[in-house]
Amino acid sequence: MQGMLAIIQSQDADAAMERLEALDLPGLSRIASMGGFLRQGNTALWIAMQPEQVNRVMEVLRATCHRRTSYMPTYMEAPQLAMFPLEVEVGGATLFICDVERYEVF
Ligand code: 2BA
Q: Tell how far the Cα of 19 is from the centroid of ligand 1, in angstroms.
A: 25
Q: Tell how far the Cα of 47 is from the centroid of ligand 1, in angstroms.
A: 20
* Residues 35-68: b if buried by 16+ CB within 10 A, e if exposed: eeeeeeebbbbebbbeeebeeebeebbeebbeee
Q: Tell how far the Cα of 102 is from the centroid of ligand 1, in angstroms.
A: 29
* Residue-level pLDDT at 12: 98
Say if ligand 1 is within 6 A of residue 97 CB: no
Say if ligand 1 is within 6 A of residue 95 CB: no
Per-10-residue mean pLDDT for the chain, 106 residues long? 98 98 97 94 97 97 97 72 83 97 90
Q: Round to whole Å and give the CA distance between 91 and 88.
A: 10
SS3 for 62? helix
* Residue-level pLDDT at 86: 84
